[in-house]
Amino acid sequence: MTVDLSNAHRFAVYFAPATDSAWWAAGSRWLGRCAATNDALPQPTIDGITPEQQRQLTADPRRYGWHATLKAPFSLDEGVGLDGLRSALQTLAATFSPFDLPPLRVRRLGGFLALCADGDTDAINAVARACVTGLQTLAAPLSSDELARRRRKGALSIQEDALLVRWGYPYVLDRYRFHLSLTGDLNGVALNTVQRLERAARDTFEGLPACRFDSLALYAEPAPGADFVLLDRMGFKA
């Protein structure tokens, strides 16, 4: 991105497929937006679902961009700048070696559809844990209003609430599950619509080649409520 995002509202550290890969093209088109260029994209046609319905059902993940969360969106703490965040990410990325993800399968995860790893996730979990714990000193503490807002989004267990307070997000460490979101909340959506989405997602993603995990992707939310954009990548060691 050529826009100055040094003072972005929030940043996030994600897994994102290489932008020249079939995985990036398929995921960006599924969501209807390329986070690297911030351009709108035509979504694949799904029988029985109108384009308007499709855009509505994918609106939530489209705003965040095609990704799997490693460290959820956070604001930089006072005195921390984008250069410091980039430096920390480069140092962290250099501690990992590239690897292929396990096969990614379409699953119903809570109330939404997502691609989930079907196999050993130890290597993925190690990267996610390092991002959560290794970058926390750069993140601003959540305000009481932010804590209240996040608690209202869903019933948290005692453990999840403690993780929210300590790390800024409840689904980390032992509560983490690697996934790439394909839809927003589908509760209340007609079953036949969900089934059509699920079939279309399988047709779109489950025939693709192995997906490589070889970098940490830095995303930015330019202003509150704005679409997240891919700002930079920090490659793993060769």
* Model pLDDT, residue 3: 65
Burial of 196-223, coded b for 16+ CB within 10 Å and e otherwise, reads: bbbebbeebbeebeebebbbbbbbbbbe
CA distance 132 to 172: 7
pTM, two decimals, is: 0.95
- Residue 154: CB atoms within 10 Å: 11
- Residue 58: CB atoms within 10 Å: 22
Per-residue pLDDT of the chain (238 residues; tens, 9 = 90+): 456 788 999 999 999 999 999 999 999 999 999 999 999 999 999 999 999 999 999 999 999 999 999 999 999 999 999 999 999 999 999 999 999 999 999 999 989 999 999 999 999 999 999 999 999 999 999 999 999 998 988 789 999 999 999 999 999 999 999 999 999 999 999 999 999 999 999 999 999 999 999 999 999 999 999 999 999 999 999 7
User: What are the φ/ψ torsions at residue 118 (nearest 5 degrees)?
Assistant: -105, 80
* Model pLDDT, residue 4: 77
* Model pLDDT, residue 96: 98
SS3 at position 145: helix
Taken in order of first residue, the domains within the chain and their CATH numbers are: 10-141+176-212 (3.90.1140)
* Model pLDDT, residue 181: 99
Place of tokens 């994918």: 58
User: What are the φ/ψ torsions at residue 167 (nearest 5 degrees)?
Assistant: -120, 0
Beta bridge partners of 139: 76
* Model pLDDT, residue 2: 52
